[in-house]
Chains A and B, each alone.
Chain A
Amino acid sequence: MIQYTIRRLLLAIPVIFGILLVTFTLSRMIPGEPCKAMLGEKATAQVCEQFTKQYGLDKPIPVQFAIFMGNMLRGDFGESIRFSRPVTLILIERLPTTIELGIFALLIACVIGIPAGILSAMKRNSPLDVVVMVISNIGVSMPVYWLGLMLAYFFALVLKDTFLWLPPTGRLTAGITSIPFFQLWNFPYISGTFSHYMLQFFSNFLIFNSIITGDWKVLGDSIKHLILPAMALGTIPMAIIARMTRSSMLEVLKQDYIRTAKAKGLQRNLVILKHALRNAMLPIITIIGLEVGILFAGALLTETIFGLSGVGRILYEAITARDYPIIQAFTVVIAIGYVFINLLVDLSYVFIDPRIRLE
């Protein structure tokens, strides 16, 4: 198992190398001087010269790529043109919101999608099955931003004076602030150091931070603000997961061992949940891993609509402002994250299906 993990990690290196190569090539394809692309149109000749030297743009292309790779791997993503701040700091600030949104969305997708798929497979061709399949077909065909806007319209405007009202924008209601745990507990830290950044990063997970500090008001408020975006973001994965669960379950339910289990007189639910679902889980887990990529791209659209200050929204702003350092950094970070999530998915096979002996 450890050997397999190490081998898979080593196999990820060429992919990461490829991701960096593609991003590097793209960054060199921007029309005009790279300096102007990275520092903005207003960069003076003097600043440009300094930049050229600092990033080795006067050196041969392979050397440039080596420098680029070194910078990326060290977490030095350059400086944002628009915000005049290191991109890494922006990532530390914004990434937690996106991760929380993604986890929440995926949770909704799994909690509804998997049972819906199971029920659909158990009661095949029943009205319930038809309804689930129709909804999931519509679900995969919907633009996520459209669904987001419609949900905002419905929950924030139509249900305005009911208890079901949900806030359509922002991460927290104005006036409510989250106190970072490291400030609350007076952690010793030196501002600007790595450990300080890490503490900031973890405290920016508002849900996590409010749980460990016991701030229930912030917890409730931040969850309330995440429901609509997560519903919008989670619907497409939910539909895909439901379809995959259904077809995977149907495949398994045909197997001999299911008939045997039933013939033994085992309870129906036990057969479904223990014998069938566990065997049907492999393709479902695979599709969940692949959905994470869709979630990241979808986060860009949902965060923009719901005014959440995550990486998606800043990526959107960066696109409009042609802030290439941010676009480049986020592309690299998300792609590498995606590679590792799919690596985790591969490793999880061993736990789900002990028959897979990974040597």
Chain B
Amino acid sequence: MTANSSTINGNAVKDYRSNSLWRLTLRRILRQRSAIIGMVILGFLLVVAIFADVIAPYSPYQVLIGVEDVNKRQAPCIHLLGCPADQPQHIMGIDGNVRDEFSRIIHGTRVSLFVGFSTVGVAIIIGTLLGAIAGYAGGWLDNLIMRFLDVLLAFPSLLLAITIVSVLGKGLQNALLAIAIVSIPSYARVVRASVLSVKETAYVSASRALGGNHAHILFGRILPNAIAPLIVRGTLGIGTAILDAAALSFIGLGAQPPLAEWGQMLGSERNQVFTAPHLVFYPGIAIMLTVLSFNLLGDGLRDAIDPRLRSAE
């Protein structure tokens, strides 16, 4: 019998595939307004990141001195809004090093999305391993791992990240590592809770009785149950990671110039807020939009796929 067989003993049978878990979940996600808005913004950002070279009118590193008649920190010039046509168009103005701000913002999308996905990716992998081992093994190992993670949680996360980076040395790579480290505990806790809740179920016992080894039981039987809360937590975590990474870059610990990173762009022009507000305004809007998209998507996903975490909707 296949999933597509249309009759069993003459009775019509529904197509199983049309009701698969994933399709059901997708349908539930699409019913969430916030998830849709989040996905639309995120899709837009992904397009911008992928086609950054095509969209950006200039290279993010190109200094326009001698190329065009523009000044340092010149205000935005948009032809549609009445900027004289004989002036070159720079819709977000010129930055402190006479580069096109718009091109830098566009290229910054790549950095921020990379930051979000890479830190959360690393944190999820390590957090899942730690949480799974703690929950599955139990006993002293569980205690040891969880108490250690509790200590990490006792620090305000951004502060711990700052301390780690000031020890490791500044730079985007170390900042990402620090953010990944400080976000491990929350993923480990989610996974441990899921593992504990299914560890004693009948199908796990059955798998054990059938002679499954620990790795098979843990990764093949138990962990798939932890995926839903992990996806939710991860999506919300990407927003926080981007925000924290931008903050580290803002105070000079993360991305270093000339890299087009929004937090760094904002930080290097922060004293110019009264004279060139556009150089502070746009990077902030870009950060906010990106973080907002992940937060909305995460909220929507939580309501759609994880009834345990569902807020009172």
| Contact surface of A with B, Cβ cutoff 8 Å | 14-15, 18-19, 21-23, 26-27, 29-31, 137-138, 140-147, 149-150, 152-153, 156-157, 247-248, 250-251, 254, 293-294, 296-298, 300-301, 304-305, 315-316, 319-320, 322, 324, 327-328, 331, 334-335, 338-339
Contacts and interface: CB of A to CB of B under 8 A. Distances in A.
Contacts of A300: 158-159, 162, 251
B243 A297 contact: no
Given A21-B151, A29-B167, A137-B295, 7 more contacts: A18-B151, A26-B163, A141-B289, A145-B267, A147-B284, A251-B312, A300-B158
B247 A153 contact: no
B284 A150 contact: yes
Given A15-B150, A26-B167, A319-B162, A335 B312 contact: no
Interface of B: 34, 147-148, 150-152, 154-160, 162-164, 166-169, 239, 243, 246-247, 250-253, 263, 266-267, 270, 273-274, 277, 280-281, 283-284, 287-289, 291-292, 295-296, 299, 311-313
Contacts, number: 148
B288 A146 contact: yes
Contacts of B296: 137
Nearest to A145: B250
Contact of A335 (B159, B252, B280, B299): B159
Nearest to B290: A141
Contact of A149 (B239, B252, B273, B287): B273
A334 B154 contact: no
B287 A293 contact: no
Contacts of A319: 162, 166, 251-253
B156 A293 contact: yes
Q: What are the 4 A-B residue pairs with the smallest beta carbon separation, nearest first? A: A146-B284, A18-B151, A293-B156, A297-B158
Contacts of B283: 146
A14 B295 CA distance: 34
Interface of A is mostly: helix
B273 A304 contact: no
A18 B150 contact: yes
A305 B246 CA distance: 15
Counting chain A CB atoms within 10 Å of each CB, the highest count among B166, B246, B263 belongs to: B166
19 contacts: A18-B150, A19-B151, A22-B152, A137-B34, A137-B296, A142-B284, A146-B288, A152-B274, A157-B274, A247-B312, A247-B313, A248-B312, A296-B156, A297-B162, A319-B162, A319-B253, A320-B252, A334-B159, A338-B154
A30 B166 CA distance: 8
Nearest to B294: A141
Given A18-B148, A153-B277, A301-B250, A143 B156 contact: no
A324 B168 CA distance: 12
Contact of A301 (B147, B168, B247, B281): B247
Contact of B154 (A137, A250, A296, A335): A335
Given A26-B167, A149-B280, A316-B251, A141 B291 contact: yes
A143 B246 contact: yes
Contacts of B166: 319, 322, 324, 327
A146 B280 contact: yes
B61 to A, nearest CB: 23
B274 A143 contact: no
Contacts of B288: 138, 141-143, 146
A198 to B, nearest CB: 26
Contacts of A137: 34, 292, 295-296, 299
Nearest to A29: B167
A146 B250 CA distance: 10
B161 to A, nearest CB: 9
Nearest to B267: A145
B287 to A, nearest CB: 5
Contacts of A15: 150-151, 154
Contacts of A247: 311-313
Contacts of A338: 154-156
Nearest to A334: B159
Contact of A293 (B147, B157, B168): B157
A331 B161 CA distance: 11
Nearest to A249: B312
B247 to A, nearest CB: 6
A305 B270 contact: yes
B311 A301 contact: no
Nearest to B239: A141
A19 B267 CA distance: 30
A317 B146 CA distance: 34
A157 B299 CA distance: 37
Contacts of A143: 243, 246-247, 250, 263, 266, 284, 287-288
A18 B147 contact: yes
Contacts of B168: 29
Contacts of A22: 151-152, 155
B263 A150 contact: no
Nearest to B151: A18
Given A30-B167, A153-B277, A304 B158 contact: no
